[in-house]
Structure 1
Amino acid sequence: MITRTPSIDQQSRLKAAAENAFDCLRPTIFHEDWWLDTATRGRVDFVEVEDGGRTVGRLPYMVSSRYGLSSSNMPTLTHFLGPGINDGGGSEANRYVKRNSITQELIRKLPPLSSFRQKMHRGICDALPFQAQGYNVEVQFTFEIQPYPDLMIWKGMRDKTRNVIRRASENFKVHESVDPEAYFHLATAHLQKKNMQANVDFDICKDLAIKAMERGRGHVWVAREYNSGDIKAAIFCVWDSNTYYYLMSTRAPDAGNGVVPLLIWNAIQSATSMGYVFDFDGISNAGSILLFSGFGGKTAPRYIVTKSSMPYRVLRQIRRMDPTAYNAFG
């Protein structure tokens, strides 16, 4: 038998196909192994589906266990997860059927859990496979800004948003920080001034920021006051192959309301220069609706899938009635 070495062109196509398959299985920065390993402190696990000896589906998850009940929730600062699927070629109808089948098989491979909750990434257009497996589905909306020219985005903003950015730019200079740890020192100081504590593990967040910036996948934008030279606000953003995510922000109590919009505008310009969609990363309250909508983005759904056992729901309800009881159930 004669063994032929693939031509350079064939090798390029094979390499491109392999890279595409890798990207499909890790569709966001939050799915990448280094991120998950850091965010979970090495406690991430995966279920996978194979077809013909190659992996076509992958779903990461992390399990915590307390009081005899196991649960899987979103790891620290990991804002989106859900299945990564390589649905191959063919018509869209056939690919949809394949995605549905792979997703349901991934769900069936999950270990028995008292509670499961994940927010799906932007590539998940519906959550029907989860519904078919008995999961509840909720929707959280986010705003997205497409990588249009800066002037087009600027003109699409609300007048009020443009005005607060203009005023803030008169008082603050924005630049990129090369020290991710400084962001968390600043955020801690701002929280202390407000007599508040962080609701997320800053040590893990700091490690994620350091690793993202080491890989050229993160930005810390800071706003320094012209008069005093003090840094009054900062935001932390990361990106993958097509999306730029606004993850965290901190602002001094005396900084004024316009400084964060100014930082966001700089981040949007960075995203569009890279050709990436800017994702505001979820709308959590009325204040964020007012702030984010001012930039002229379009709303987009993010599906949240949940499933919990009766004992877990009962204990969760007990905790709601008595916050001092069963601290494991948040």
Structure 2
Amino acid sequence: MESSLFHEPWWLSAATNGQYEEAIVKRDTSIVGRLPYVTTYRGPFRLIRMPALTHILGPAVDAGWGKPQTKLIQRASITRALIDQLPPRSFFYQHIDPSLDDGLANVDGLVFQERKFSVGPQYTFEVDCRLEPSTLWSSMSQKTRQPIRRAEEKYTVQDISDPATFVTFYLANLKARGQRNRVDLANFPALFSECRTRQSGIILGAFDHDSTPIAMTFVVWGHGTMYYLLSTRALAADYGAVSLLLWTAMQEAHKLGLVLDLDGVYSSGTARFLSGFGGRLKTRLVIRQSQPPYSLLQLAHRYYARDETHYFT
């Protein structure tokens, strides 16, 4: 059954403190389909999402053997059965990688659409770090390479073994910018510990000459892909420090024979920054379903959020 790092039971357990559920389809005694999710409540509304720090999920399916068309039909049938097992809900939201299972996972989007979910694109950049570092370096834009060279002169890069160091730095940088934390970091220490145990994750930090942290990045890997999961930089730091950490991650991915996924592109600024690393654009699918009462709540939330004198909980 082809899946991603984020489908691993150990990942799901650590990211949720064991509080995740799964729809499961079996063939005889063998599991041929899994759809993990977490359930939360907002008042009377049941929400089904991905766990915190989990960037893609969706169905993991064993489509069996046979011609591509046969496997496509079988995968669609299993995905349909997984969706039909989901509990009644007011809201559903997950990202899926349609390139899984040699691209057969594309049919998952069609099945979700058939079941009245909305399906839209989300974009990411993917860098094939199995190529030689010299090739990776020359593929980057000049505007990306120059800040990395300058950062290499000013900063040293270190492996950070204490997750609390990352969390403290992350929250301090948000506070300095007057921004609210939108990432649930409660289970970050447990998740990082599991990654370290399995040699599937690392925190990279850039430090100046007096050992002051300038930027930190958390990357994880498994199933042939490294993911750029979290990043933070000090208020006075420019993007060169983060670029240096990403270049370091690319070199680590090369040693491990991995592709680097630079994560979802959420703005034009992010797209400009990430496109400089020489990756190819890749499409994920965003699966969403919202029942009318909850849609009205979301609309009201967006309305009140425009006025900072109002607070909506």
Q: Tell me the equivalent position of 1:125.
A: 106
Partner Cα distance (2:253, 2:151) in 1: 21
Provide, for residues 60-111 of structure 1, a one-character-per-residue CA deviation record: whole Å limited to 9, x for no partner. 0111123222111222111110000011121111111111111111111111
Q: Tell me the equivalent position of 1:306.
A: 288
1:110 to 86, 109, 112: 86
Q: Is 1:58–1:83's contact at 8 Å kept on the other side of the alignment? A: yes
Q: Tell me the equivalent position of 1:79.
A: 55
Partner Cα distance (1:134, 1:198) in 2: 32
Q: Tell me the equivalent position of 1:60.
A: 36
Q: Tell me the equivalent position of 1:173.
A: 156
Q: Is 1:73–1:117's contact at 8 Å kept on the other side of the alignment? A: yes
C-alpha root-mean-square deviation of aligned residues, in Å? 1.6
Partner Cα distance (2:258, 2:34) in 1: 24
2:196 to 213, 219, 223: 213
Q: Is 1:237–1:244's contact at 8 Å kept on the other side of the alignment? A: yes
AA at the equivalent of 2:66: G
AA at the equivalent of 2:146: N
AA at the equivalent of 2:193: I
- Identify if the C-alpha distance between structure 1 residues 195 and 322 changes in structure 2 by more than 3 Å, giving closer, same or farther: closer
Count how many residue pairs are aligned between Structure 1 and Structure 2: 302
More displaced stretch, 299-308 vs 61-70: 61-70
The structural deviation recorded for 1:156 is: 0.8
Give the percent of matched residue pairs that are identical in Structure 1 and Structure 2.
35
Structure 1: which 5+ runs fail to align?
Answer: 1-20
Q: Is 1:190–1:252's contact at 8 Å kept on the other side of the alignment? A: yes
Partner Cα distance (2:232, 2:89) in 1: 35
Q: Is 2:163–2:188's contact at 8 Å kept on the other side of the alignment? A: no
Partner Cα distance (2:58, 2:187) in 1: 21
Q: Tell me the equivalent position of 2:64.
A: 88
Q: Is 2:131–2:254's contact at 8 Å kept on the other side of the alignment? A: yes
More displaced stretch, 179-188 vs 47-56: 179-188
Q: Tell me the equivalent position of 1:196.
A: 179
Matched, 1:186 2:169: yes
- Secondary structure at the residue paired with 1:282? strand
- Secondary structure at the residue paired with 1:258? helix
Partner Cα distance (1:190, 1:206) in 2: 19
AA at the equivalent of 2:49: N
Q: Is 2:21–2:37's contact at 8 Å kept on the other side of the alignment? A: yes
AA at the equivalent of 2:31: T
The structural deviation recorded for 1:41 is: 2.9
AA at the equivalent of 1:305: I
Rg larger for: 1
- Secondary structure at the residue paired with 1:280? strand
Partner Cα distance (1:211, 1:53) in 2: 29
1:296 to 265, 278, 285: 278
1:46 to 6, 19, 22: 22
Q: Tell me the equivalent position of 2:260.
A: 278
AA at the equivalent of 2:228: Y
Q: Tell me the equivalent position of 2:125.
A: 143
The structural deviation recorded for 1:211 is: 2.1
Q: Is 2:157–2:204's contact at 8 Å kept on the other side of the alignment? A: yes
Q: Is 2:139–2:278's contact at 8 Å kept on the other side of the alignment? A: yes
Q: Tell me the equivalent position of 1:10.
A: none
TM-score by length of 1: 0.87
Provide, for residues 196-255 of structure 1, a one-character-per-residue CA deviation record: whole Å limited to 9, x for no partner. 332112222232222212221111111111x32222111000011210000111111122
Structure 2: which 5+ runs fail to align?
Answer: none
Provide, for residues 257-285 of structure 1, a one-character-per-residue CA deviation record: whole Å limited to 9, x for no partner. 21100100000111121111100011011
AA at the equivalent of 2:269: G
Q: Is 1:29–1:35's contact at 8 Å kept on the other side of the alignment? A: yes
The structural deviation recorded for 1:47 is: 0.6
Q: Is 2:47–2:89's contact at 8 Å kept on the other side of the alignment? A: yes
AA at the equivalent of 1:163: Q
Q: Is 1:48–1:59's contact at 8 Å kept on the other side of the alignment? A: yes
Q: Tell me the equivalent position of 1:157.
A: 140
Partner Cα distance (1:78, 1:176) in 2: 22
- Secondary structure at the residue paired with 2:186? helix
AA at the equivalent of 2:132: P
Q: Tell me the equivalent position of 2:246.
A: 264
